[in-house]
Amino acid sequence: MSIGEVYKNIKEKIPEDVTLVCVSKTRTIDEIKEVYASGARDFGENKVQELMEKYDNLKDDIRWHFIGHLQTNKVKYLVGKVYLIHSLDSIHLLKEIEKRYAAKGKIASLLIQINVGKEVAKTGIAVEELSSLIKACEGCNNIKVKGLMATIPIGNEESSRKYFTKMKSIFDNLKTFDYKNVSMEFLSLGMSKDYKVALETGANMIRLGEHIFGSRDYKE
């Protein structure tokens, strides 16, 4: 089965209201074009330089998602080029995004990344610091928070379900408040190995790379 056919097959099996982000990091322009030809418009990259190279060589109607850790010195390159930044994880980063987007008269669409598993090696804001970040978001003029994102600890289906359920609970709770600049539209959970569990627990955005494109060759 071609990668285009794989994409179509997955799309047919997931609910219509779920956004499928094709994680295209390390993938070639031709591979992206093949999946694009099958109807895909949402593609995710985790490195700014790689995203910029692909942005310049692909169709204008692609919705680029930045899904990696975002360094403040790289924010300026994303202005006006990405549909959604999934990795807002600090007030420091928020201030840089606000500054860079304000300078260009643009609005940044963001997801707050939560380190729900409290993993030292992973980025994302602690749940306990979430209210402070939301308060800072309310004071901005050039950002719109559209929801939450998390990458969870590697584990089995039971542990995945536990973390996804916790994220859904946080998401639903935030939905009950009327914040300025903050709304809960997207809950971005689940990757190739656990996306079915994520969907069962309420995710409406999933990020699939190897499940569509096949295994990566990290030697390349």
Of all residues in the chain, what percent carry a pLDDT higher than 90?
A: 92
Q: Is residue 98 part of a domain?
A: yes
Query: Of residues 119 and 72, which shows the higher confidence score?
Result: 72
Helix axes 91-103, 130-138, angle to 10 degrees: 20
Residue 23 domain flag? yes
CATH of the domain at 178: 3.20.20.10
Would you state the structure tokens that stand for residue 115, as one six-digit string?
Answer: 């380190």
**Residue 60: pLDDT band by 50, 70, 90 thresholds?**
confident
Range(s) of the domain holding residue 31? 3-192+201-213
| 53 Cβ contact partners less than 8 Å away, ≥ 6 residues apart | none
User: Do the beta carbons of residue 112 and residue 125 sit within 8 Å?
Assistant: yes
Is 219 a member of any domain?
no
- Return the pLDDT at 4: 96
- Please give the average per-residue pLDDT across 68-94, as a whole number: 97
Q: Read off the pLDDT band of 216 (50, 70, 90).
A: low
Mean pLDDT (whole number) for 116-143: 95
> Is residue 11 included in any domain, yes or no?
yes
The count of domains in the chain is 1
Average pLDDT over residues 2-21: 97
**15 within a domain of the structure (yes/no):** yes
**Confidence at residue 85, expressed as pLDDT on a 0 to 100 scale:** 98
- Specify if 150 maps to a domain: yes
The pLDDT assigned to 217 comes to: 61
CB 212 within 8 A of CB 38: no
**In the chain, what's the furthest Cα-to-Cα distance?**
49
Is residue 128 very low, low, confident or very high in pLDDT (cuts 50, 70, 90)? very high
131 domain residue, yes or no:
yes
pLDDT in tens, 169-210: 999 999 999 999 999 999 999 999 999 999 999 999 999 999
Q: Does residue 218 sit within a domain?
A: no
